[in-house]
Every structure is written in structure tokens, then in C-alpha cells.
Amino acid sequence: MDFLSDIGKKITETAKTVTKKSESLVEITKLNLAIGNEEDKIKKAFLEIGSELYKNFQNGESYGDYFDTKCTEIKEMEENIAKLRERVLSLKGTKTCTGCNEVIDEDVKYCPNCGVKTPVENVE
């Protein structure tokens, strides 16, 4: 009978240990999610700070050589992106309307969305 009693006690102790460990795992998972959420908030705040700094740079503000250099690099990247997008539109046979920024066929004279006259390029 002592043998069965010992087995029962060990099973009970093991069950308690497993329960504690699973509760700890759940708590650890919740804490890691909370940490991740806070880190995401920090990244968002950094992006907002950088975005605001860059907007001010575009309006003539200066924040020192380091930031001015970085902002100039961003401006060059934006210009490169614009050129690449123009090339993609050209390959698709489209262009961007100067009035409403909608993508339209490159051979139309007037934008079907806003009615602005658009330049038609001669393709020879």
C-alpha cells in the first residue's frame, strides 16, 4: 500500500510542477509580447522623430552636419525612387497625371479623372 501511496504522491508532485512550469511559460510569453509591443512603440516614435526632422530639413532647417548629410542622402534616394517609378510607368505604357497624380495611359491628351491636359511624348 505504501508503494501505491508513494506513486500517488509523486504523480501529484509532478502534476504541480508541470502546472507551475506551464503557468510560468504562459507568463513568459505574455511578458515577451509586452516587451515586443513596447519595442514597436519605440521604433514608431523614432520613425516619427526622423520624419519630423526630415520635414523640417525640407523647409530649410539645419540640425548639424550629420543630420543634414543624412537628410541629403534621403533626398537623393527619394529622387532615385521617383526616376525608377517613372521608368516602370514608361515600360507599362502609362504616366502620372500632373493634376491628380493618377496613373493614366501615356497617349491620352486629357486626364480622364480630373481633365487636366497632359503632355503626350512622341515615341520615335
> For position 124, what pLDDT does the model report?
47
For 24, which DSSP code? Answer: H
- d(C-alpha 57, C-alpha 5), whole Å: 78
Q: Find the length of the chain.
A: 124
CA dihedral 15, 21, 26, 28 (to 10 degrees): 170
> For position 44, what pLDDT does the model report?
94
pTM above 0.85, yes or no: no
Domain range list for the chain: 2-92, 93-124
Identify the three-state secondary structure at position 38: helix
Which stretches in the chain have pLDDT values below 70? 1, 121-124
